[in-house]
Structure 1
Amino acid sequence: MNAPRIALVTGANQGLGRALVEGLAARMGPDDTVLLTGRDERRVTDAAREVTGLPETRSRVEGRVLDVTDTDAIAHLADELRQRHGGIDIVISNAVARMLPGESQSARADEFIDVSNTATHAMLRSFGPVLRPGGRFLVVASSLGTLGHLDPALHDLFDGASLDQVEYAVESWRSAVHHRTTAEAGWPLWLNVPSKVAQVAAVRAVAAERRQDDLASDTLIASVCPGMVDTATSRPWFDDFSQAKSPAEAAEAVLDLVFAEHVDPALYGELVRFGAALDWHSGKPLVEQDLKLTP
């Protein structure tokens, strides 16, 4: 008999995160538990109750308050799961700060970086060591996370970097935003681009250290691109949503990766979109004038 499994999703009150919880709860067994996490206790409680009541739900769904900008809280939860369950089987780091096109990029930089990057680093540092053999650890990023979307002068900050080096690069970028020196350093104005590149680089850094042991135990660490998803976070940025997927549709490809019978070595540590690895060095800097960004 297999031991009960534990799964955790951050940013799970709504949108893709909520859909991922629903999919996990439908695919996992009655002895398994899915932790639906978010910052607001009422919304977390309501969401967990609603998912529990869905006819497709098979596993237990437990709401847990987790502010991903609180690195101590992340470490505490990881340690709790280690002590109570011996670790965790599925981690999907999905939290993101919502930003509107007309908002100042520099004014929102700290919140955006803390939620998307500092939290990703903390999740990798705290939950990576308690991921059980055969586990899955996925960080939701986007196709903007390939290195080519940055100015070539910045590539060495992330290419082949350790997690410590990625963290240093992120903090250097944050400092440049606050000192309004991003343009001369080559950083794009749009926060989403360096943020996603740094997320993917952080995953690659951790995966590089663990690759041999993880592949031997059929364990996967990767970043994932769910494609264009029609959510409240993404809708303000695009005029044409005709090709966008619903959160439930987008979650399917991510969940297929989670529940794949065996880990494909070609996907380990990579940015995966619809079951295929994206070339880390692909992409080109965006024409930011088309995005009508506010500094």
Structure 2
Amino acid sequence: MNASRIALVTGANQGLGRALVEGLAARMGPDDLVLLTGRSHRRVTEAVGEVSRLPATRARVEGRVLDVTDTEAISRLAEDLRARHGGVDVIISNAVARVRPEESQAERADEFIDVSNTATHAILRSFGPVLRPGGRLLVVASSLGTLGHLDPRLRHLFDGASLDQVEYAVESWRGAIHNKTAQEAGWPIWLNVPSKVAQVAAVRAVAAERRARDLATGTLIASVCPGMVDTATSRPWFSDYSQAQSPAQAAAALLDLVFTEGADPALYGELIRFGKALDWHDGTPPVEQDRILTP
């Protein structure tokens, strides 16, 4: 990576995103810059102050207010970082919409899709071109993001799809939810499965176009599954947290991907969990009465 590196994390006020910022700030150097982003100016400012005061922090930490549902704002931030710094070395797309078990999945679909999918597409489109050689662009997804978790009727929409085709499939899913035709078409009630499959498919699409060039320069684009993490977003969904990781523990495996030299061809473009690529075609469709969340 460059002598002076730039890292950016979305959804970084709390939970895993905050832990990722803390880890980056501890493992990068005094000449490096870590950008902590979130929607609330107050919370971003408070989080930056707290991370900056941690004894382990070495890099500079700055805040940027960013609503990831504003695709134009994502584009402006990417262009600003290109103009100011010549590009970015680490982008971790981590923002997620919080949905509680008692809430209607259909009623929350627009916000969930906008935060998890529309924003992922915008980050890939805007930050992919400003990712410097040797950099990392990681999208936090889930092991539910493998294709086999979808009804067989839907898998062709995402298998080998371009980013445009993934976007079209996501909007078709959104339309089916609004038209109340989603279930008969095979879409699960739970938003998390199609959303995560689409995130992974979007990463695979962009990676397929860049693979040779990125591997030659040690650049890694991938989706990542952090495992079960004890956060405010996931806690309402689990009755047993005995196996859950703290955000700092979960961040460690992701940060290892950031700081490992080069790019492993076996991991490039894949969904990575604990340092290993998951089989894209693995998984079985969920039983609707099961609680589905982000493990």
Taking structure 2 as the reference length, the TM-score comes to 0.98
Deviation string 1:94-143 (CA, Å, 9 cap, x unpaired) is 00000000100111000000000000000000000000000000000000
CA contact under 8 A between 2:121 and 2:163: conserved in structure 1?
yes
Corresponding residue of 1:9: 9
Corresponding residue of 1:123: 123
CA contact under 8 A between 1:101 and 1:292: conserved in structure 2?
no
CA contact under 8 A between 2:217 and 2:262: conserved in structure 1?
no
CA contact under 8 A between 2:192 and 2:292: conserved in structure 1?
no
Corresponding residue of 1:48: 48
Corresponding residue of 2:182: 182
- Please state if 1:170 is matched with 2:181: no
Aligned length: 293
Corresponding residue of 1:28: 28
Deviation string 1:227-272 (CA, Å, 9 cap, x unpaired) is 0000010011111111110000000000001111121100000000
Corresponding residue of 1:39: 39
Distance 1:253 1:239 in 2: 25
Q: Residues 2 and 286 from structure 1, CA distance in 2 versus in 1: closer, same or farther, beyond 3 angstroms?
A: closer
Secondary structure at the aligned position of 1:100 is classed as coil
- Please state if 1:216 is matched with 2:216: yes
Secondary structure at the aligned position of 1:272 is classed as strand
Secondary structure at the aligned position of 1:35 is classed as strand
Distance 2:278 2:7 in 1: 26
One-letter identity of the residue aligned with 1:249: Q
Corresponding residue of 1:132: 132
Kindly report which structure 2 residues correspond to 1:152-167, keeping only aligned pairs within 5 A, or say none: 152-167=152-167
Kindly report which structure 2 residues correspond to 1:135-284, keeping only aligned pairs within 5 A, or say none: 135-284=135-284
Q: Residues 162 and 179 from structure 1, CA distance in 2 versus in 1: closer, same or farther, beyond 3 angstroms?
A: same
One-letter identity of the residue aligned with 2:73: A
Deviation string 1:58-91 (CA, Å, 9 cap, x unpaired) is 0000011000000000000000000111000000
CA contact under 8 A between 1:204 and 1:269: conserved in structure 2?
yes
Distance 1:157 1:2 in 2: 38
Secondary structure at the aligned position of 1:289 is classed as coil
CA contact under 8 A between 1:10 and 1:93: conserved in structure 2?
yes
Q: Residues 135 and 42 from structure 1, CA distance in 2 versus in 1: closer, same or farther, beyond 3 angstroms?
A: same
Secondary structure at the aligned position of 1:228 is classed as coil
Distance 1:274 1:292 in 2: 21
Deviation string 1:7-49 (CA, Å, 9 cap, x unpaired) is 0000000000000000000000000000000000000000001
Percent identity of paired positions between Structure 1 and Structure 2? 81
Corresponding residue of 2:286: 286
One-letter identity of the residue aligned with 1:34: V
One-letter identity of the residue aligned with 1:29: G
Moved more, 283-292 or 52-61: 283-292
One-letter identity of the residue aligned with 2:146: T
Deviation at 1:3, TM superposition (A): 2.7
Give structure 1 stretches of 5+ with no counterpart.
none
Distance 2:183 2:80 in 1: 43
Distance 2:291 2:20 in 1: 29
CA contact under 8 A between 2:15 and 2:247: conserved in structure 1?
yes
Distance 2:3 2:252 in 1: 24
Corresponding residue of 1:93: 93
- Please state if 1:58 is matched with 2:62: no
What is the alpha-carbon root mean square deviation over aligned residues?
Answer: 1.2
Distance 2:2 2:41 in 1: 32
Distance 1:248 1:3 in 2: 26
Secondary structure at the aligned position of 1:197 is classed as helix
One-letter identity of the residue aligned with 1:236: P
Q: Residues 191 and 266 from structure 1, CA distance in 2 versus in 1: closer, same or farther, beyond 3 angstroms?
A: same
Secondary structure at the aligned position of 1:30 is classed as coil
Distance 1:288 1:220 in 2: 35
Distance 1:292 1:245 in 2: 18
Q: Which runs of 4+ in 1 moved over 6 A?
A: none
One-letter identity of the residue aligned with 1:42: R
Deviation at 1:2, TM superposition (A): 4.8
Deviation at 1:193, TM superposition (A): 0.4
Deviation string 1:203-230 (CA, Å, 9 cap, x unpaired) is 0000000000000000000000000000
Secondary structure at the aligned position of 1:184 is classed as helix
Distance 2:133 2:292 in 1: 46
CA contact under 8 A between 2:222 and 2:271: conserved in structure 1?
yes
